[in-house]
Structure 1
Amino acid sequence: MDSANTSRRGADILVSCLLKQGVDRIFCVPGESYLPVLDALHDVRDEIDLVVCRQEGGAANMADAYGKLTGRPGICFVTRGPGATNASIGIHTAFQDSTPLVMFVGQVGRGMKDREGFQEVDFAAMFAPLAKWAAEVNDPNRLPEYIHRAFQTALAGRPGPVVLSLPEDILSEIVGPEIELGVPAARLESAPTPAQTERLSQLLEASQKPLMIVGGGGWSAEAGRHVVAFAERHGIPVATSLRCQDYVPNTHPNHCGHLGIGADPALVARVKEADLLIVLGARLGEMTTAGYEMLRPPRLTQTLVHIHADPEELGRVYQADLPMAATAGAAAAALAALPGEGADARASWVAACHADYKRTLERPKSSAKLDLADAVSRLKARLPADTIVTNGAGNYAGWVHRYWPFETYRSQLAPTSGAMGYGVPAAVAAKLTFPNREVVAFAGDGCFLMNGQELATAAQYDAKILFVVANNGMYGTIRMHQEREFPRRVYGTDLKNPDFAALARAYGLHGERVEDIAEFDAALERSLAAPGAALLELVTDPDVISVRTTIAALRQRALA
């Protein structure tokens, strides 16, 4: 039984509860609304590492990245009003990405509530549609109860973010000597029933062209190994959903590609050709299904087995022939244990699907001085297989997703929410979490400046990261849509950028600008040899708007 033997402040109880939950790192931007917590953290600085960030959006994104990397809730502390609203982007990302995260928000004192006090917001109402649970703690004696529930909720079923609002006076209030700290939260596994696995075996036996799609939250390296074993034994190609490319080794013969934004047409055709779809963990959202056109809800022409940790997700959009409420780890283990063989009978199907994927790695000839496909491929060849790759949102990400085959879990950190500005803070969290692994953060010029100030955090904590900024002088994704819908009517998408390399040097990093691929290798070696973090600014052709499309081609098609 855990109890406090002396009277303590609410903030001391809170920090003791965090230790009880196994918290070892907190990302924050300090605020006066939770100063007692900072004071309490001072006494446990050898047990909890406090990472001070430069903007709350960066702190929340770092907490999300930590949650993705470890499977444990990432922890973020922000102040009220502007702090919480800045951090909301990370909460939205954690929700859509199914990442466990707990954010604590300082709040006005209880005596000030409902008067629109300084920076007052009803955070339970504000975060209700963005989080799994949002609440306010108005009694310091109940802090252990709320914190345990927050961690349990963040981990349960489909993982996600929880927000707790902390009125500043409860943090200073003295609490009685006997306060139970509770027990650590635990992720609960739910497995398919024997009847469900038997039905799946029957569907597999009748199938000639099964195909599997994996994604969602609660994944692990072990789940990936079980899926590979299942796919090998039964002869099933495996595709990954949006930005879940590292769930299975991309070099494996059963891997067939990535159902991300602008998925390979050959893979889309294979999904439509399949007679049995086994979907594990993925929600089958808008991006993964090409706007619900590749797989049209509510009923598919293929037989659908949908396995998801949240039973309320099953049947929400797609009506499966065999729905299973099960967590990814337990479901993958059950699939790996299924008896039967199908590899020989489906060998040609698997080989054809994998060959389609391998063709996507072929780089078309480019007349550009700096071909981003070439640059990404050279980086991949130079760095270790377990390098952690981060990115935000933008057309530049298409080159990363296509030309960087992922080999280990977890080596990809990218927002399925499509949030710009994710890559830089995620890289900082990744390097602090795994200091012995290489970390590369990709960003576009627009994406980088949304959280580029976290270069200061990288410098402050000696996080040796390689930042790669693709600079084409525009918001590329929006320009692509603009050129398609309103050709030759460019407005609001051009950017006048700083000298990114000089900006990096101003933060104390190594910085270089590369305009020709002939300069790339030498610049890369100098960057990797630098004592600290480094930034490579890659100046790319603004006419090359995506992996497969140029602005000129878009205009020609639009005006035809």
Structure 2
Amino acid sequence: MLDALIGSGVDLLTCRQEGGAAMMAETYGKITGRPGICFVTRGPGATNAAAGVHVAAQDSTPMILFVGQVARNMRHREAFQELDYPAVFGTIAKWAVEIDDPARIPELLARAFRVATQGRPGPVVIALPEDMLVDTADVPDAPPIRPIEMAPAADGIAELTERLARAERPVAILGGGGWRGAARDGMIAFAERHALPVAVEFRRGGSFPADHPNYVGDLSIGASPGLVEAIERADMILMLGGRMSESPSQNYTLFDIGPGDDRIVHLHPDPEEVGRVYQPGLGLVGTAGGFVSAVEGLPGPNRQSGWVEDLRRTYLDWSTEPLPLPGSFQMGEVVCWLRDTLGPDAAITNGAGNFATWINRHYRFRDHGSQLAPTSGSMGYGLPAAVMAKRQQPERDVVCVAGDGDIMMTVQELATAVQHEIPVIVLVIDNGMFGTIRMHQEKHYPGRVSATDLRNPDFAAMAASFGCHAETVRDSGDFAAAFDRARASGRPALIHCFLDPEALTIAKTLSDLRDAT
């Protein structure tokens, strides 16, 4: 495989761990809507890559993972690093297959691209036996694959039109990964024409521009109480493209499960998803692009209330000013500075941790692909995602924000950024602990701290050893100058930021949590 890539024109990144490689491929799928391609070795390589496959599955991202396999005449003996890939990945991937005959490569790859991109997008795993890779076959290649756009049925659109005409307090909630290009533009026009306030699901920022007057916030972990209240008061919920899973549904409390909710109009590209958890008043099957095409000619209502303006004002009041917390490094101030300084096409990437709640609340994602973060909550995602995003769109600023526990999951990919000269900027927010787990310990097991304290390296020194530009910041007043130097360096850069352990959450200190128990 590696030999065949020589002279192919394929942009090949040499990564340092299979999990990071798979997360980079998943990021490519998020950005482009086309499958990111990842090659890993068999056995341990495949199981390391499973972290990225799981992100692609839960985030509905097209991706194809090619994995090595033992020779065909050694199968079923537990030969060196042998795995049964359909069994191992069967509950994560949309499809897992092994190619035994080189003559079937065009057929099976064409199918893999369709499975990965059509319906609910997701990952496909393809195993390649060692001896099959050196076989030859004379067979026509498959044509390029163009995913099918599906528009909702005409009777469904007719009922949607009636519901929109009656609604006084509608809310649209965008999910899934299809809101790019013409689909995103069409959704903006639809929201304007129908006076729709638009929210996005957890970590789907950029699906709708946050600086647009119809944007009213994101349903993240710790969502705005005003947005949650508005959804409870709404008389119509346009649930478009997403699954409304645990995080955006506020632990499955926003909508009734079982009895159904007649307010809900649920659009999804997979018919099996409509009604799987929530029983909607109206179910529609279609892609984001198919939906906006179907509703393009619908006349706007005569809705005159200040519903959109009220929800927009609530969002701005909630997100504009940061809350002060203990310590000289104010995370909220830093995120607001990034929000007000970076251009609309800048991308912010992150993995998992309490540090991400400041991003969710204060940053305003304005362009498609400006938020690259896992809805699956996978630690370590931010750095590989940043490397891929900057590789694909070198003209945009790409900033990875990572916690001290988070960054250590994939920190070796700094070497990938340096080797391929990809000038990402990494902010390591160091509070010396696994903060999210510590928060739950303080809430539910007061006085019983266990396995959450971290003894960290000097991240700036580590980054410098990789060949990065490196800085250390202990006071948020020094952050802007350090960031400007990092950006001007033209190299991969890391800024090691020290956050007071008391600043455990966006609104409550560690002591507040202890005192409340």
TM-score calculated relative to the size of structure 1: 0.90
| Alignment pair present for 1:200 and 2:160 | yes
| Alignment pair present for 1:511 and 2:470 | yes
| Alignment pair present for 1:184 and 2:148 | no
How far apart are the structure 1 equivalents of 2:46 and 2:179? 28
Partner SS, residue 51 of structure 1: coil
User: Which of 459, 474, 486 does residue 527 from structure 1 map onto?
Assistant: 486
User: Which of 307, 318, 323 does residue 360 from structure 1 map onto?
Assistant: 318
Asked if structure 1 preserves the Cα contact closer than 8 Å seen for 2:262 and 2:280, the reply is no
How far apart are the structure 2 equivalents of 1:396 and 1:304? 33
Residue equivalent to 1:456: 415
Residue equivalent to 2:64: 102
User: Which of 339, 345, 349 does residue 307 from structure 2 map onto?
Assistant: 349
How far apart are the structure 1 equivalents of 2:296 and 2:506? 36
Residue equivalent to 2:47: 85
How far apart are the structure 1 equivalents of 2:416 and 2:223? 35
Cα distance, 1:73 vs. partner? 0.5
Cα distance, 1:301 vs. partner? 4.7
Cα distance, 1:340 vs. partner? 2.8
Residue equivalent to 2:185: 225
Q: Gapped runs of 5+ residues in structure 1?
A: 1-36
Residue equivalent to 1:557: 516
Residue equivalent to 2:3: 39
Map Cα deviations across residues 168-216 of structure 1 (whole Å, 9 max, x no partner).
00001232xx311111111101101221111111111111111110011
Asked if structure 2 preserves the Cα contact closer than 8 Å seen for 1:243 and 1:414, the reply is yes
Asked if structure 1 preserves the Cα contact closer than 8 Å seen for 2:460 and 2:472, the reply is yes
Residue equivalent to 2:297: 337
Residue equivalent to 1:481: 440
Cα distance, 1:374 vs. partner? 0.4
Q: Gapped runs of 5+ residues in structure 2?
A: none
How far apart are the structure 2 equivalents of 1:218 and 1:273? 27
Cα distance, 1:228 vs. partner? 1.7
Cα distance, 1:543 vs. partner? 1.2
Residue equivalent to 2:382: 423
Partner SS, residue 410 of structure 2: helix
The CA RMSD measured in Å over matched residues stands at: 1.2
Corresponding letter in the other structure for 2:164: L
How far apart are the structure 2 equivalents of 1:182 and 1:524? 47
Asked if structure 2 preserves the Cα contact closer than 8 Å seen for 1:158 and 1:218, the reply is no
Cα distance, 1:366 vs. partner? 3.6
Partner SS, residue 180 of structure 1: coil
Asked if structure 2 preserves the Cα contact closer than 8 Å seen for 1:483 and 1:554, the reply is yes
Cα distance, 1:531 vs. partner? 2.8
Asked if structure 1 preserves the Cα contact closer than 8 Å seen for 2:262 and 2:282, the reply is no
Cα distance, 1:529 vs. partner? 1.4
Cα distance, 1:367 vs. partner? 4.3
User: Which of 221, 242, 254 does residue 214 from structure 2 map onto?
Assistant: 254
| Alignment pair present for 1:134 and 2:92 | no
Cα distance, 1:300 vs. partner? 4.4
Cα distance, 1:285 vs. partner? 0.5
Partner SS, residue 206 of structure 2: helix
Asked if structure 2 preserves the Cα contact closer than 8 Å seen for 1:371 and 1:517, the reply is yes
Residue equivalent to 2:81: 119
Map Cα deviations across residues 86-124 of structure 1 (whole Å, 9 max, x no partner).
000100100111111011000000111111100111011
Asked if structure 2 preserves the Cα contact closer than 8 Å seen for 1:221 and 1:247, the reply is no
Cα distance, 1:218 vs. partner? 2.5
Map Cα deviations across residues 327-377 of structure 1 (whole Å, 9 max, x no partner).
1111123233311324x523x111111111101222223442011010111
User: Which of 52, 55, 63 does residue 25 from structure 2 map onto?
Assistant: 63
Residue equivalent to 2:134: 172
Cα distance, 1:488 vs. partner? 1.6
Partner SS, residue 387 of structure 2: helix
- Greater Cα shift, 315-324 or 328-337: 328-337
Asked if structure 1 preserves the Cα contact closer than 8 Å seen for 2:70 and 2:80, the reply is yes
Corresponding letter in the other structure for 1:42: I
Partner SS, residue 247 of structure 1: coil
Corresponding letter in the other structure for 2:97: A
Asked if structure 2 preserves the Cα contact closer than 8 Å seen for 1:543 and 1:552, the reply is yes
**Runs of 4+ residues deviating >3 angstroms:** 299-302
User: Which of 343, 355, 365 does residue 384 from structure 1 map onto?
Assistant: 343
The number of aligned residues is 516
Partner SS, residue 174 of structure 1: coil
Partner SS, residue 340 of structure 1: coil
Asked if structure 1 preserves the Cα contact closer than 8 Å seen for 2:184 and 2:208, the reply is yes
User: Which of 211, 226, 234 does residue 171 from structure 2 map onto?
Assistant: 211
Residue equivalent to 1:264: 224
| Alignment pair present for 1:541 and 2:505 | no
Residue equivalent to 2:358: 399
| Alignment pair present for 1:239 and 2:203 | no
Residue equivalent to 1:51: 13
Asked if structure 2 preserves the Cα contact closer than 8 Å seen for 1:197 and 1:338, the reply is no
Partner SS, residue 335 of structure 2: helix
Residue equivalent to 2:334: 375
User: Which of 49, 60, 73 does residue 35 from structure 2 map onto?
Assistant: 73
Asked if structure 1 preserves the Cα contact closer than 8 Å seen for 2:325 and 2:503, the reply is no
TM-score calculated relative to the size of structure 2: 0.98
Q: What's the % identity of the aligned pairs?
A: 47
How far apart are the structure 1 equivalents of 2:476 and 2:11? 40
Map Cα deviations across residues 23-55 of structure 1 (whole Å, 9 max, x no partner).
xxxxxxxxxxxxxx11111142xx111111000
Corresponding letter in the other structure for 2:459: F
Corresponding letter in the other structure for 1:232: E
Cα distance, 1:379 vs. partner? 2.0
Corresponding letter in the other structure for 2:327: A
